[in-house]
Structure 1
Amino acid sequence: MIYEVTIQIRVKDMAEGQRWYRTLLNREPDFVPHEGFAEWELIPRCWLQVAEGVPSEASGPLRLGVPNIITTRDRLMKELEMEDFEIHERPEVPVKWGTFTDPWGNRVGLFEYLSEEEKNIKMNAIHK
């Protein structure tokens, strides 16, 4: 039985990495046990760990579900000085999505459910 998930992303500069992911996630880390390491609980029992080290090549992307991909993309472009990243849609896929990289080459993405009903079901499930 799996009861919890952690995903680790490595960055070469921890101070800048923590700042960048704090801006991406729009909040402070939940846990900083020691220098060179920070964790955010993204949803109950799902943790993103940012650790100082050598980033892995060709991993990911780590995709984060958001209520509005356009609004989130626009905020990130402004606050992280990112270039525009393309948002994709396909008729057979129930989400729209986009992928970008952090300053260390880690692939990160966003997705948004197209159905408001499905989006609300997913968002309400984590608030129970």
Structure 2
Amino acid sequence: MTEMSVRGLTIAVHAGHRDEALAFYCALIGRDPDLGPDPDFYEWEISPGAWLQLATGRTAITPSSFRLRLQVESIDSSVKILRGKGFEPSAVKRLPGLVAFSNLTDPWGNPLGLYEDLGVVPGV
């Protein structure tokens, strides 16, 4: 083989206290992690081959320089659900025909967000 064949990706987020971090990310994602191979390391398969990794128990955390956005089916419903759970997502911004998104941060300053792809018709 002369070319590299990328088949997946992982994105790691560093956070503080394990219980607080797990509570935050389980509430954000809406389920428990798929894997917990270490007492301070957890993983969710967000879509086939795409994993969110959570490294907890960190004491000196530099917030990520990138925004991790999670795709949702309905941005308005998802923002409402998060607000009901005590999250503080921003107002939804829309780029008609393209995307709608909302931003938030985790307790350690990591930039996060949700987005809805407005260019895709559900069920098609």
**TM-score range with shorter-chain normalisation?**
0.7 to 0.9
Per-residue displacement from partner, 1:2-57 (whole Å, max 9, x unpaired)?
A: 11100000101111101111111111100001111100000001000000224333
Per-residue displacement from partner, 1:57-90 (whole Å, max 9, x unpaired)?
A: 35221011100011111111111x1235121113
- The answer as to 2:76 corresponding to 1:76 is no
**How many residues were matched structurally?**
118
Q: Counterpart in 2 of 1:106?
A: 110
TM-score by length of 1: 0.84
Q: Which runs of 4+ in 1 moved over 4 A?
A: none
- The answer as to 2:100 corresponding to 1:96 is yes
TM-score by length of 2: 0.86
Identity over the aligned pairs, expressed in percent? 32
2:72 pairs, out of 45, 66, 73, with: 66
Letter in 2 for 1:67: E
In 2, Cα distance between equivalents of 1:11 and 1:107: 12
Letter in 2 for 1:103: P
Letter in 1 for 2:110: N
Q: Counterpart in 1 of 2:92?
A: 87
SS at match of 2:21: helix
In 2, Cα distance between equivalents of 1:58 and 1:96: 22
Q: Counterpart in 2 of 1:21?
A: 25
Indicate the RMSD between aligned Cα atoms, in angstroms. Answer: 1.7
Structure 2: gaps (5+ residues): none
More helix by share: 1
